[in-house]
Chain A
Amino acid sequence: MTTALQYTLSGLAIGGIYALVALGFHIMWSAAKAVNFAHGDTLMIGAVLAVMGIDAGLPPPLACLLAILAGALFGVVLERFAVRPFIGTNASIGWMLTTIAVGIMAESLATMQFGGFSRPLPSPGVAGAISILGAGVYPQELVIPAVALLAMAGLHAMQRHTLVGRAMQAVAHNRQAAALMGINVDRIVMFSFGLAALFGAGAGVLVAPVIQASASIGVLLGLKGFAVAIIGGITSGPGVVLAGLAFGVMEKFVEGYVSTAAREIVGFSAMILVLVAFPQGLFGRREIFKV
């Protein structure tokens, strides 16, 4: 029983990270029908820059804040120079390859600057474990899923109640009509990529104290975030967050009862099976196809 609770709690923590990453994919896809394939590296940038900022003598909160902002800037710049030139062409191959290229460059630059090893980000959240019904967790681990849920709720509220949020929905629904209504579509798409990157870099800062920051953490977390977006349905914000949390818990159980290698096998196989049974994801809407 305690073991099961332990797995669930740590699963929710890593699941919260997947949820935040997947939420970013959801935001980008809605705005542009394109995503940043270097989104995992945004997370890496957040984590690595936070550690480097503290190395440089910045106070931890400031270092984290700057790291997150740098991540968001990365997203904005990437959209402008790697994604936008290729949007609207028939095949998605253009922006896919350019963002992958930038991701590879970012990762190898980070490896050179940061070294090939992993380092923890100090945080009060991992100072001491607390015990819940016998299961030991760090407060940081409890914070992560809460942040993911808050981000989801915040995004929802923004889409409902703010002008920019409504504009995002309008662009997601119909780019051309939105432009005709006087919405600056390019700016909304750029904003969306920035917001997604903000969530991504935030996830990096949140997870770095728990799993240690390194130049290579981005690839796998980014990929799993995308897998979660596919499972939850990339068109549904709440869907991807729920799927992310569930995916994290499932991973911990498989890892605990079988092995780490089995965790990857089961996780990605689950994604492929969901694609077979629910092509639009578990909570996704079928996009109406206009001829």
Chain B
Amino acid sequence: MKALYTLGFALLAAILVVVPLTSGNEYELRLFMLFLIYGVIAVGLNVLVGLTGLVSLGQAGLFALGAYTGAILAIRFNLDLVLASIGAAVVAGLFGAALAYPSVRVRGVYLAVVTIAFGLIVENVAIEWQSLTGGTTGLSGIPGPNLFGYPLSGYAFYAVLAVTLFLATLAAHNLKHSGYGRAMLAVAQSETAARSLGIGATGIRTLAFAVAAMTAGIAGSFYAFLNAYISPDIFTFSDSVRFLLMVILGGAASTFGPVVGAFILTYLPEVLQRFAEWQKFAYGALLLAVMFGLPGGILGTLGQLYARLRPGPRGVEPGQGMPAAELLASRKPAGLETHGLTVRFGGLTALSAASVRVAPGEIHALIGPNGAGKSTFVNTISGFYRPSKGGVHLDGTDLAGIKVHGIARLGLARTFQNTELFGQMTVLENVMVGGFAHHGYGLPGAILRTPRFRREEAACRAAATGLLDFVGLSAVANEQARFLPFGHQRRLEIARALATRPRLLLLDEPAAGLTTQEIDELEVMIRKIAGLGVSVLLIEHHVDLIMAVADTVTVLDYGQVIASDRPETVQADPRVIEAYFGGPSAILNEEAA
């Protein structure tokens, strides 16, 4: 697969070099330059759509914002192509981030609406702010493209555009194959799980949108220089749809898909010109056809075909990677303490003044009948619910006000009662997502593939491989997670949680749905995890399992702690027996008498 990418980039470079040499006239070259500009937008938009699973219908607005910024910087401040485009990228990126943050915080769907609205705002501001934008007549007299004061010839400008598209494609490719790309895919597939692994979902989504906005801004600036004239009616809603269609048609999340899509949709209107009035209809029909007939887009479908014809190895040899013990060395197990933890949902008190103390390094079991408040307890200490009263301390750090991903970064990892895997990622990738919080290379490092990036990525892969070995899933490392049988999914969740290098691991009903044999294996695994220096908080129904592994058992009933002691003591506690089996029954008493 790696060789294919290299081949693809070589092919792209070859095409970009050959086309200007063979193009017959200026019109042909100009059209191709328009394709390069659209390609840049599509490649950026793909980061948002393909990786993060969000939709923007306002790329035309950001494109316009970039075009106006670039044009104004060039006309008023005499900036050259590069500086004006950087200015355009910064302005578009800032607006993009400011736009995305409030919308993606609530619902991904809102982003589509907010971006459409933003497109309209830009259009109307361009009309209204006549002194700056020239109003409806637009801005003319944009100077020809120049670099450091030297005017660029048509071919030199072409070279700038071609290099930009090539680099943008390469940067997006590198981003996808880094911790950031995995985090974006993870957020799209299970926000809950991503947050519990230390990934700030809102931040990652905002980042993706800012990337898409910046590329649209750069493309807009280039467009202004190419056209030498811009006006508000050049940037319409149907352009936004066309940009989105480029990504979907070419293949969302694929490296070259957006470029292919941009190419097709730049030249298709030329072909469809005689069907003038059907053109818009054709866009709609094409989008619909792709959604139903070719959900992966052109390159996505080709990629699937390739994977089916030449499947790679299913797994990796066991015994490889960094041993889990080595990965988890040099950390100390954490203790957890809750004081009077109370959680109310409306009138219902799910947890009432629960004080629980998990000692560092122990296996602590939390049990209780259905509805006792176990799940509420887990979700509150991991930050998904806010306590109404009381607080949680992890090794003395007050967790009040810290978000889910912040708590995860402090060393609390968890699994879920209903498994929350990233279904369309491979087993190995699932585990690698867990290493996100430990990447120190930063965004520039990921895009430039710095030596530090390569080193840390290799370490992350080795750690993930080692953890798969630890839970016994090496043989299926390259399978997609959704195809795993249930028992394996549970183990994968544990491996993924361990990849965050936790100091305390929360297992939320890990034995639910497992066979007896699997439960025995789980028992061994829990002991091994504790042996690695990770405190374990186990929420479970299986009394046998608890009695076998737990150092301390806490019993919840009706939201209150009714017992907390060594397993055998708790087992004999009359209040616990009552909670599980009911009070002394009249019939039993009679029989006894």
Contact = CB atoms under 8 A, between A and B. Distances in A.
A94 B108 CA distance: 13
A93 B285 CA distance: 17
Interface residues of B, number: 52
A271 B384 contact: no
Contacts of B105: 279
A111 B277 contact: yes
A108 B291 contact: no
B125 A230 contact: no
B219 interface: no
Contacts of A91: 53-54, 108, 188-189
Contact of A105 (B99, B121, B281): B281
Interface stretch (A144-152, A167-175, A256-264): A256-264
Contacts of B102: 272, 275-276, 279
Interface string A248-291: 00000000000101101100110110011001100000001101
A90 B55 contact: no
A115 B128 CA distance: 29
A102 interface: yes
A90 B188 contact: yes
Contacts of B54: 91, 93
B287 interface: yes
B121 A291 contact: no
Interface in A34-92: 35, 37, 82, 85, 90-92
A107 B113 CA distance: 18
A39 B188 CA distance: 26
Given A37-B112, A275-B103, A261 B128 contact: yes
A291 B106 contact: no
A279 B237 CA distance: 26
A112 interface: yes
Chain B residues touching A, majority SS = helix
A108 B112 contact: no
B384 A291 contact: yes
B359 interface: no
A265 B121 contact: yes
- The winner among A85, A226, A259, A265 for most chain B CB atoms within 10 A is A265
Contact of B241 (A98, A104, A112, A261): A104
B121 A275 contact: no
Contacts of A82: 288
Nearest to B346: A288
B284 A291 contact: no
A100 interface: yes
B429 to A, nearest CB: 16
B287 A100 contact: yes
B77 interface: no
B120 interface: yes
B379 interface: yes
Contacts of B277: 108, 111-112
A264 to B, nearest CB: 5
Contact of B345 (A37, A227, A259, A288): A288
Nearest to A274: B102
A264 B284 contact: no
Contact of B291 (A101, A220, A223): A101
A206 interface: no
Interface of A: 35, 37, 82, 85, 90-94, 96-98, 100-105, 107-109, 111-112, 219-220, 223, 226-227, 230, 259, 261-262, 264-265, 268-269, 271-272, 275-276, 279-280, 288-289, 291
20 contacts: A35-B109, A85-B292, A91-B53, A91-B108, A93-B49, A97-B55, A98-B291, A100-B241, A102-B284, A103-B284, A112-B278, A227-B117, A268-B120, A275-B103, A279-B102, A279-B105, A288-B345, A289-B384, A291-B375, A291-B417
Given A101-B284, A265-B128, A271-B114, 20 more contacts: A37-B112, A85-B292, A91-B189, A93-B55, A96-B55, A100-B284, A104-B241, A104-B280, A108-B280, A111-B277, A111-B280, A223-B117, A259-B128, A261-B124, A268-B117, A272-B99, A272-B103, A275-B102, A279-B102, A291-B375
